[in-house]
């Protein structure tokens, strides 16, 4: 993909992140540092994406359908599922959905981030050219 020039504003937190990874006497190449950070984040997201069944993905995609995902820490996907179904106890859910809640509850925070990132990319794109859901997963992992 060709490079494009954009005007961006860096938050103090982003500047601190980049400064912490640059020698004091080196001039900061903001574009390089930002691109390297996104490259690392994309790789981590693809590596940390948990193995979920098609049914589990369907549950999660339905929970977040039409939602604007904001990455607020800590991630609480299992609570989001419970809220979506308006229940307080896992036992109130169908077995498959309850099993999904238990499975995502056991995910680490980085795995939950990767899951939410997957969902965000899923809803932001058109997957009509995909042969099947495994193809969609592979395409999203590459983004």
pLDDT, tens digit, 9 for 90 and up, residues 35-51 = 899 999 999 999 999 99
- This prediction has a pTM of 0.85
pLDDT, tens digit, 9 for 90 and up, residues 62-116 = 999 977 778 889 999 999 999 999 999 999 999 999 999 999 999 999 999 999 9
Q: 121 with 49: CB under 8 angstroms?
A: no
pLDDT, tens digit, 9 for 90 and up, residues 117-140 = 999 999 999 999 999 999 998 898
In sign, the C-alpha dihedral spanning 34, 74, 120, 68 is negative
In sign, the C-alpha dihedral spanning 80, 82, 86, 89 is negative
Instruction: Of 12, 72, 15, 51, give the one whose Cα is nearest residue 134.
Output: 51
Question: Measured between alpha carbons, how far is residue 41 from residues 44, 46, 47, 104, 141 in Å?
Answer: 5, 9, 10, 21, 12
């Amino acid at each position: 993909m060709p490079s494009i020039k954009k005007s961006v504003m860096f938050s103090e937190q982003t500047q601190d992140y980049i400064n912490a990874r640059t020698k004091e006497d080196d001039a900061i190449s903001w574009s390089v540092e930002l691109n390297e950070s996104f490259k690392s984040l994309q790789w981590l997201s693809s590596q940390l994406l948990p193995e979920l069944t098609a049914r589990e993905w369907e549950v999660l995609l339905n929970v977040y359908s039409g939602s604007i995902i904001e990455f607020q820490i800590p991630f609480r996907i299992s609570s989001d599922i419970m809220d979506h179904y308006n229940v307080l106890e896992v036992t109130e859910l169908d077995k498959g959905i309850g099993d999904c809640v238990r499975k995502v509850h056991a995910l680490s925070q980085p795995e939950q981030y990767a899951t939410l990132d997957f969902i965000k990319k899923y809803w932001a794109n058109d997957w009509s050219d995909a042969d099947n859901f495994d193809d969609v997963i592979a395409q999203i992992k590459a983004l």
